[in-house]
Amino acid sequence: MSGEYARSGRGAVVVTGAAVLLPGADTVRALADGPAAGGTPVDPAAHVGRKGLRYKDRATQLGYCLTAAALRDAGLLVDGGDGLTVPAGTVGVVASSNFGNLDTVVRALDTIREETVTATSPMDLPNASSNVIASSAAIRYGLRGPNLMVCNGETSGLDAVHWATTMIGSGRVDRVLVLGVEPDNDVVRRLLGGTRAVDGGAALVLESRAAAAQRSVTVRAVLGSYRRSADAPSLRGRRWQLPQHLGRASGAGGVLQCAAAVGWFDAGENDPVHAVAGTAADDAIADLLLLAPGAA
């Protein structure tokens, strides 16, 4: 696939829901306009209540919030509840995070090194799984379709969108929730040499056009061509970049760019949006073209 555009069929996969949670931005429109500096950290309990948050790492808690918001935005949650309006097996999950549960893993390893494995918390070890964000969101909201976690460096967010598109295009599932989230904590900052991470992220609900039409749901964006290669892409549309004051987006970056595109399209803009993740210094560069519903 390197150097070539991959498609599941032009116009076959559309965005029907989107959510954003960042300090300074909690809507796709606020994200598209540029999150203001000085925003307060996201409080997960204020978004989904305290039940089920105990013992969960920050990234998983943020994932819960984004999942609920995106599913609700797409009309997939029953009004006033967490039940689905579609069969559970028709909804998959692909999550992207490079730093996700790193704090949990480091804490468990430190305990094992300094004491023994018997000193580790029985509540910590299940959360040390690399798939904890995706699996936890699926379990909490009853999403029984395919479940995948992508931890793929700077291109991770757009790679997650691509794999979700591939699942839908192949007929494996009708719709996929895509999560992109990165927590900010001491362990992450040590890894990043003192730089902070975004401490939030974005979520998208992708559906086949046929599934969206069957639900009579509004299409918010259309996914165009995707490419992953060592070469920088030729820009063919507008680009959005995360303000530097929010820190490193990493695995959330690609999903945030797609959510910002939805914000522009919601406001009536029709120019194509070009999402790009990775640089020549990384192992690859991924890019995705997003089209306005009326322009596709």
Q: CA 99 to CA 60: how far, in whole Å?
A: 11
Question: Which amino acid is residue 140, in one-letter code?
Answer: R
| Under 8 Å between Cβ of 74 and 112 | no
Q: CA 59 to CA 47: how far, in whole Å?
A: 14
Selected from 3.40.50.1980, 3.40.47.10, 3.40.50.2000, 3.90.76.10, the CATH number assigned to the domain covering 5-100+134-291 reads 3.40.47.10
Q: What is the pLDDT of residues 40-90, one digit of tens each?
A: 999 999 999 999 998 899 999 999 999 999 999 999 999 878 899 999 999
Place of tokens 């480091």: 106
Q: CA 98 to CA 163: how far, in whole Å?
A: 16
Q: What is the pLDDT of residues 199-254, one digit of tens each?
A: 999 999 999 999 999 999 999 999 999 999 887 777 766 899 999 999 999 999 99
User: For the ranges 2-6, 52-56, 140-144, 181-185, which has the lowest average pLDDT?
Assistant: 2-6
Percent with pLDDT over 90 in the chain:
75
Q: CA 202 to CA 254: how far, in whole Å?
A: 9
Q: CA 195 to CA 193: how far, in whole Å?
A: 6
pTM of the model: 0.92
